[in-house]
Structure 1
Amino acid sequence: MAITWDGVARSYIPADELTIPESLRLHTAAAEAVDPVTFEVIRYSLLNTNLEHGQTLQRLCVSPVTMITRDFQPSITTETGDLVFLGPYLQYFSNAQSLTIKWILENRADDPGIEPGDMYVSNDPYVGTPHQPDTIVAAPVFVGDELFCWVSNVLHHADVGGSVMGSFCMDATDIFADPPAFPPFKLVSGGHVRKDLEQMFLRQSRLPTNVHMDLRAAISANFVAAGKVTALVERYSAEVVKAVMNRVLDAGEKTIDERLAKVPDGQWSHRLYQEAAHTGDAGAYAYQITVRKEGGHLYVDNAGTDPQTGSINVTYAGFSGAFLAALTASLTADLAGAYGGVYRRVHFDPTPGTLSCADFPAAVSPSGIYTMETLISLSGSVISKMLACAEPEVARLAIGPAHPSFYGLIAGGMHPDGTPFIATNADNMIGALSASPAGDGVDFGGHFWIPEGTASNIEELELLWPMLFLYRRALPTGADGAGKFRGGRGFVEAGIPWTVPGMAAAAYVDESFPKAVGTFGANPGSAGHFRLKHGTDVVSKFASGEVTLDFDATAGLEPPVEAKGPLLMMGADAMWEWTGGNGVGFGDPLARDPEQVRADIAAGAISADTAARVYGVVDGDTAAVRADRLAERLAAAVVPAEIQTAPADATIRVLAGELAIREEDGAFVSATGRAVLAPAGGNYKDGCAVLERPLHSTEPEYRTREGRAGWEIVYREYLCPVTGRRIDSEIVRSGDPALHDIVIGSLA
């Protein structure tokens, strides 16, 4: 039985040919030729119109999450919704607007119609948004009586309703406990805002004034962008501008085609786990992505992902947006947002009813801090595996996994004057970039999926919300993020309520195990933590001029915190601390250049004791210490009964880290030990020595308490059976099979 992707019973996935009523006239005529100078002038005018659209949003919005963090995205699409230009803002919104516009064309063109001066609003995840706070405003641009193109934006609103302030409803078991999801409705008709529908939308919010101003900002920014496109058409003609749009799409498609030509056909998979589907849950849940490359096309599926449950779901819009954000950041970042042509070469085949392609009525509102980041990290990992098999000039483009959650805190309460506030702390925009095949990650390097995202100035937050911040500083580099090249450093931040008797923490992240797996033998990244103490003496110490800078040394009662717990009440004597995370490393930590480790010690990024524990770098004989560590690994591992090695005259090509192939027959081998791991098409893990232990027992950075999801998670290391070098690793539920994650060559 055919699956119906209609945006009602399940997500909307448009067909190759849209069903659009003939009553809506579309502008499709394009000039056959455009001279190079005119082409560049129009192309840059369109690009700058979209950038100015984003700047207009930033200046008009009042919520910090948009005004400061840049949690928004403007775009220009063709008349049928194909992306022409995207801005340098939140990249997984890349196809959200396109999907929504295509749905409007198929479902609203007859009734109530699409006319000049109209704008449609939607926050329906089953149509096109990642979750309900992300609200799309889409405006058609007409030339005469023909629909020429669309300008649109999507931005995150501070609160759009639901059972929890801030609209991240961790306790939701289905969408009926989530914020309302509005399919596209015509909010602006003929240039005039329909007050009845605007009031309907605002009525759901705990912060209607803020949402009202941000919604009007979105409408105004669309008017500005539409006016600039219209002026461009009046100057150069609709046919010439449309020709430039089409050529921009064609150029993007040509670019991805040229780069995919340097990637062999094959298949690559990766799997990540998230914990706790809802408040009170301690389960671990699998998400998987597989990419098959055939010729100049990519085929993406989510087979192996667990069935939808609780509130950790996302719809097709989020799944596809996450993958496209990671793909374009890796392979085509130089296209500067002109990604529509790239999308032509990516084909999705999702399994419905899963965590990453949920059917109605699954709850999805918390996806903005959990599932979306899980899928972006997962996508970055699987794309890195694919690019590792490519020719060198393409392989070097790999950027690795992102943070698997958006660490932070959403708190709320009342200002001293009695007005409500919701504090969406997005300081994790400070970020940390993972290591690459070429070098260390970037300390405090932001996130590749939101290039223009910024963290707030502390003073700005203290001005906006009744809070006092005690410190914001770098995380140390320990085992988390270690590798031949280490991940970038994250940060830790602490604060207290100020001038109010208390507040509540509505959304926070406290992980019992790290989610991001190290790339090609590197250690896992950080687990994000949220900690809280009641009854502290922080405020009383101010009288003697003492500022608290150490959470552990602060007196008070620290209650246990769950991954997705309930509202946490915080009195005036409370103190909280939360961490971002270190990015993951690349390659075996025991292969890191000792001088790089010593440089980190000198810079204060790592202690000498930790350097010895994690990297085997000591003042004495580092080589001997490392040799002992490798031998200890093999002694504790299950080693294959028979080990074959490639002859000395065999040509070995390193893919990444310790994983290589023998050029003569494509067999997988280890780079330093030259152990033959599997024939071409086989699973290289079958020939590895395997060391499996509870993850919490491996390093202090990964400890957790019994009863939490992380207690049952195991760390599975795949080692060269000759040298003990780590080739790869997996963080898995005990008993889950090894993933056959790299197949090079045709699958026919």
Structure 2
Amino acid sequence: MSMTIPGSEVYSSRPLSPEQLQRFIPDTLRMHTVTQEQIDAVDALTYEVIRHRLWSVTEEMGEALKRMSGSPIVTDANDFDFAIGDEYGQEVQVGLYNTMLVGAVDLAVYWTLQHRATNPGIAEGDMFLCNDPWVGGGLHQNDVIVYQPVFHDGQLFAWTSAICHEPDLGGVGLGSFSPAAQDIFSESLPTPPVKVVRDFELQDDIADLWTRRSRVPMLVGLDLRAKIGANNVGRTRLHEVIERYGADTVKAVMKRMMADSESRLRAKLTDLPDGTWKATGYQDQSHEGDRSLHKITLAMTKAGDHLTFDFTGTDPQAGVINCTYAGMRGGVMLALLPILANDIPWSAGGLMRCFDLVAEEGTINNATFPAAVSRGPIGPAWLTGTLVAECLSQMLDRSVDLGKSVQASCCGTWDTAVIAGLDERGTVPVPFLNILMEPMAGGYGARPTVDGMDTGGLFCIPMGRIPDTEMSEFLYPMLVLWRREEADSGGPGRQRGGVSASLAMTPLGTSVPMGLVFASAGKAVSQNNGLAGGYPGNTGLDVLVRDVNVLDRFKDGVMPVGLDEIGGRIEIGQNYSQSYVAPGEVLYMHWQGGGGYGDPLSREPQAVVDDLRTGKISPEAAEKSYGVRVDAAGLLDAHATEELRRAVRDERRARSVVDDAVAGYPVLDVARGRRIDDNLVQVPGDDGGVGLVACAHCGQQLADSAHDDRLRLAAFDGAPAEAGPQVTSDHANYVDDEVVFRQYCCPGCWTALYTSIVPVGHPDHARSIALLAG
């Protein structure tokens, strides 16, 4: 006899529709529905009032969770989210917290309706708990969702959910991150949906079973009750809205909210050009000991009012850098919500009707059971979102009205460091575990008209915060030497990428080494690319300072403010590794900033001087990256700057290989051209196709669609360090693949059109003219 492993089914395309789900729902489970006539009958004022009431319900759920949880992940970092769904779980209203989770919450409800409606059944007063990434709800096992059906007059009316990242749920590695894992059995085991609340009562056996798995059971148990409490708030407030306005009216508003978001997004898409845009990104290393690059590739096609995200060609699942379909979908939502739907209410159930996902099973962003997926949301899902953002931005850059939403890549990934050990500051030593949340202060990508926000947060958590240093030192046996913004971490560009920050800490209040787990990416190749010639932000760097006791420096009256002042031996932290930090040693983390937009030689010189004065860039970057010189008083030297920028362009000319075909191309009148991005215009041709492509600055023709399949550019491959001082790590420390600084320039005026740090075999998406169609 064979049986299906719960949760092993992989969503390979669009999830089940309400009509398909209805086949699995027994007659005893009655659903509250409304007709289209009832939806259309709701007046505009009532619609807006109820819509905002539902929004306030999710906000109150969030406040309830934050007040009940004791975890800094929730209380400080805001790594959680909420949703209200209709009777089928389609997301009507989501929170403004971790937006990646938006792509996974409804999947858990669909699965529950399909597999739990008959046995053990879905009843009033139930709540389900799940941390199975193949089922949904979250993107990896540490994302734990508690969700409930809400009934009205005996009918299933809605669902509410509360989800947050738990600090540890067992497994081999600290914080449930096992850098060496090759399958899920080395990680925290996934739990398919199970009733944790029956008839409004917490089930002690399930709660005990759940908390038993964790290294920090009291914290996990508190979070469990906090999520139950948040759902209780959601149910109570939802019933109050129903009582005030009537069940049919509230449900009609819920359905209309999704329909309105869908129609508004479709209208926006209709106004944009059809075409296909491509992007490829990399995970450097897949597990402890690996030295390979693993790619995710995307072809985004926009046709009419619909998007298709095709990830065909992505590398097979490997190590710990995998996510399930829920993670891939969450990555798409990470980018789509702020870039394409930033002026549309986030009724995700409607927005997700506007796109399809195509992905081969068994790949790193559509992994099959039992792949290791602990790195899922902050590895492949995040990279998926970065690639989607890159494609969406290239599409939007062609629109005068929507170009303001264009944004270069943000900080690229989450730099994970988990520390655990023995806190000996009290009368009785107690174990502790802490995920260092400082990398919340990532740099945002630049936009065509503004610089990226410095230490502005994470793209996926709009309301994220970093913890208070004093509180971290109060809770854990550690001393923070510094936490500060770092110069040159923002990608150079006409608009600069937002800078990131660094943290240096040492154990204090413990006599034994702390265990340490690293899980990161973006150290060998760029994960924070710029746009339109803008440079990528910094590569990440984690190090351990060995053979030193930094506390001795304090005794000498010295407070170190840099690694060079600490002494000792530098040990490079790999992307994935298990290590330790002994008393007196120092853990240093420098995470990633945002990518730049446009050629940095086009940046207003005085803006460069201001950045230099405020410590956003170094003198080296001012000259090498921006071509700006200052005098002895720190003021702009306009004449020297003009000469230096001319010299930088001459250097680009000398080092680049020019496509021979461009020699026969003329200079065009670009005044009648249509914008492609900051540097390119499309000039109508006689063939009715793409026509001619020219440099927006000098008019040099770069392609003729009748004869060319790519832009005729000047190309350069050099050592990554040639990108500038933002390259803080040597790729040879992490991977065996050859990695280069790649730049394409206009062969007429030598403006940078594309800049990145990529492996030698990186595909030439930037030179393709197929993406310009439409």
TM over 0.5: yes
Q: Are the aligned partners of 2:419 and 2:514 in contact in 1 as well (CA < 8 Å)?
A: yes
1:744 positional shift: 4.9
Q: Does structure 1 residue 122 correspond to structure 2 residue 130? A: yes
Once the two structures are superposed, the pairs formed by residues 163-242 of structure 1 within 5 Å of their partners are 163-242=172-251
Question: Distance between the aligned counterparts of 1:682 and 1:41, measured in 2?
Answer: 57
Specify the SS of the correspondent of 1:306.
coil
Taking structure 1 as reference, are residues 399 and 745 closer, same or farther at Cα in structure 2, changes over 3 Å only? closer
Once the two structures are superposed, the pairs formed by residues 12-161 of structure 1 within 5 Å of their partners are 14-16=15-17, 17-18=20-21, 19-23=23-27, 24-30=29-35, 31-32=38-39, 33-128=41-136, 129-161=138-170
Question: Distance between the aligned counterparts of 2:229 and 2:416, measured in 1?
Answer: 30
Give the aligned partner of residue 623 of structure 1.
Answer: 642
Taking structure 1 as reference, are residues 669 and 705 closer, same or farther at Cα in structure 2, changes over 3 Å only? closer
Once the two structures are superposed, the pairs formed by residues 220-369 of structure 1 within 5 Å of their partners are 220-369=229-378
**Deviations 1:428-480, CA, capped at 9 Å, x for gaps:** 222211101112111121123211111111001001100011111110026x5
1:516 positional shift: 2.1
Taking structure 1 as reference, are residues 448 and 732 closer, same or farther at Cα in structure 2, changes over 3 Å only? closer
Question: Distance between the aligned counterparts of 1:650 and 1:629, measured in 2?
Answer: 27
Once the two structures are superposed, the pairs formed by residues 355-394 of structure 1 within 5 Å of their partners are 355-389=364-398, 391-394=399-402
Once the two structures are superposed, the pairs formed by residues 460-479 of structure 1 within 5 Å of their partners are 460-477=471-488
1:745 positional shift: 6.8
Taking structure 1 as reference, are residues 471 and 684 closer, same or farther at Cα in structure 2, changes over 3 Å only? farther
1:63 positional shift: 0.9
Q: Does structure 1 residue 481 correspond to structure 2 residue 482? A: no
Q: Are the aligned partners of 2:324 and 2:376 in contact in 1 as well (CA < 8 Å)?
A: no
Question: Distance between the aligned counterparts of 1:559 and 1:648, measured in 2?
Answer: 56
Q: Are the aligned partners of 1:681 and 1:743 in contact in 2 as well (CA < 8 Å)?
A: no
**Deviations 1:265-296, CA, capped at 9 Å, x for gaps:** 11111111111110011111111222111111
Taking structure 1 as reference, are residues 537 and 274 closer, same or farther at Cα in structure 2, changes over 3 Å only? same
Question: Distance between the aligned counterparts of 1:394 and 1:606, measured in 2?
Answer: 30
Q: Does structure 1 residue 633 correspond to structure 2 residue 642? A: no
Could you tell me the TM-score, scaled by structure 2's length?
0.92
- The aligned amino acid for 1:407 is D
Question: Distance between the aligned counterparts of 1:608 and 1:415, measured in 2?
Answer: 43
Taking structure 1 as reference, are residues 596 and 663 closer, same or farther at Cα in structure 2, changes over 3 Å only? farther
**Deviations 1:594-615, CA, capped at 9 Å, x for gaps:** 1211121222322334311111
Give the aligned partner of residue 676 of structure 2.
Answer: 655
Q: Are the aligned partners of 1:325 and 1:449 in contact in 2 as well (CA < 8 Å)?
A: yes
- The aligned amino acid for 2:277 is W
Which of these residues, 594, 599, 611, is aligned with residue 610 of structure 2? 599
1:297 positional shift: 0.8
**Deviations 1:173-218, CA, capped at 9 Å, x for gaps:** 0111121011111111121222222222222111111101101110
Question: Distance between the aligned counterparts of 1:182 and 1:56, measured in 2?
Answer: 25
**Deviations 1:68-119, CA, capped at 9 Å, x for gaps:** 1111101000111111001110000012111110111111101111110111
- The aligned amino acid for 1:597 is V
Give the aligned partner of residue 446 of structure 2.
Answer: 435
Taking structure 1 as reference, are residues 56 and 720 closer, same or farther at Cα in structure 2, changes over 3 Å only? same
Structure 1 stretch displaced more, 374-383 or 9-18: 9-18
Structure 1 stretch displaced more, 688-697 or 45-54: 688-697
Question: Distance between the aligned counterparts of 2:533 and 2:276, measured in 1?
Answer: 20
Give the aligned partner of residue 457 of structure 2.
Answer: 446
Give the aligned partner of residue 677 of structure 1.
Answer: 702
Question: Distance between the aligned counterparts of 1:204 and 1:371, measured in 2?
Answer: 26
Q: Aligned pair count? A: 741
Question: Distance between the aligned counterparts of 1:98 and 1:696, measured in 2?
Answer: 45
**Deviations 1:674-709, CA, capped at 9 Å, x for gaps:** 233334499775411111223245434425163532
Give the aligned partner of residue 496 of structure 1.
Answer: 506
1:581 positional shift: 2.1
Question: Distance between the aligned counterparts of 2:561 and 2:640, measured in 1?
Answer: 37
- The aligned amino acid for 1:482 is P
**Deviations 1:2-55, CA, capped at 9 Å, x for gaps:** xx9994143475233324323221111253512333322221111101110111
Question: Distance between the aligned counterparts of 2:572 and 2:610, measured in 1?
Answer: 37
Question: Distance between the aligned counterparts of 1:201 and 1:649, measured in 2?
Answer: 65
Cα-Cα RMSD: 2.2
- The aligned amino acid for 2:591 is G
Give the aligned partner of residue 587 of structure 1.
Answer: 598
Question: Distance between the aligned counterparts of 2:203 and 2:707, measured in 1?
Answer: 61
**Deviations 1:316-344, CA, capped at 9 Å, x for gaps:** 11111111121110122233433322211
Q: Are the aligned partners of 1:669 and 1:677 in contact in 2 as well (CA < 8 Å)?
A: yes
Specify the SS of the correspondent of 2:660.
coil
Question: Distance between the aligned counterparts of 1:634 and 1:346, measured in 2?
Answer: 42
Specify the SS of the correspondent of 1:370.
helix
Structure 1 stretch displaced more, 195-204 or 268-277: 195-204
Which of these residues, 536, 560, 564, is aligned with residue 552 of structure 1? 564
Question: Distance between the aligned counterparts of 2:670 and 2:441, measured in 1?
Answer: 49
Taking structure 1 as reference, are residues 344 and 332 closer, same or farther at Cα in structure 2, changes over 3 Å only? same
Taking structure 1 as reference, are residues 34 and 286 closer, same or farther at Cα in structure 2, changes over 3 Å only? same
Specify the SS of the correspondent of 2:657.
coil
Q: Are the aligned partners of 1:180 and 1:204 in contact in 2 as well (CA < 8 Å)?
A: no
- The aligned amino acid for 1:733 is P
Give the aligned partner of residue 732 of structure 2.
Answer: 706
- The aligned amino acid for 2:560 is T
Could you tell me the TM-score, scaled by structure 1's length?
0.95
Question: Distance between the aligned counterparts of 1:543 and 1:14, measured in 2?
Answer: 62
Specify the SS of the correspondent of 1:690.
strand
1:526 positional shift: 1.1
Taking structure 1 as reference, are residues 315 and 220 closer, same or farther at Cα in structure 2, changes over 3 Å only? same
Give the aligned partner of residue 758 of structure 2.
Answer: 732
1:408 positional shift: 4.3
Taking structure 1 as reference, are residues 378 and 744 closer, same or farther at Cα in structure 2, changes over 3 Å only? closer
**Deviations 1:121-142, CA, capped at 9 Å, x for gaps:** 1111111121000011110001
1:624 positional shift: 2.6
Q: What are structure 2's unaligned runs of at least 5 residues?
A: 630-636
Taking structure 1 as reference, are residues 183 and 160 closer, same or farther at Cα in structure 2, changes over 3 Å only? same
Question: Distance between the aligned counterparts of 2:615 and 2:47, measured in 1?
Answer: 52
Specify the SS of the correspondent of 2:419.
strand
Specify the SS of the correspondent of 1:148.
strand
- The aligned amino acid for 1:131 is H
1:508 positional shift: 4.7
Q: Are the aligned partners of 1:385 and 1:742 in contact in 2 as well (CA < 8 Å)?
A: no
Q: Are the aligned partners of 2:410 and 2:593 in contact in 1 as well (CA < 8 Å)?
A: no
Question: Distance between the aligned counterparts of 2:505 and 2:187, measured in 1?
Answer: 29
Q: Does structure 1 residue 10 correspond to structure 2 residue 22? A: no
Question: Distance between the aligned counterparts of 2:172 and 2:109, measured in 1?
Answer: 29
Q: Are the aligned partners of 2:26 and 2:118 in contact in 1 as well (CA < 8 Å)?
A: no
Taking structure 1 as reference, are residues 432 and 647 closer, same or farther at Cα in structure 2, changes over 3 Å only? closer
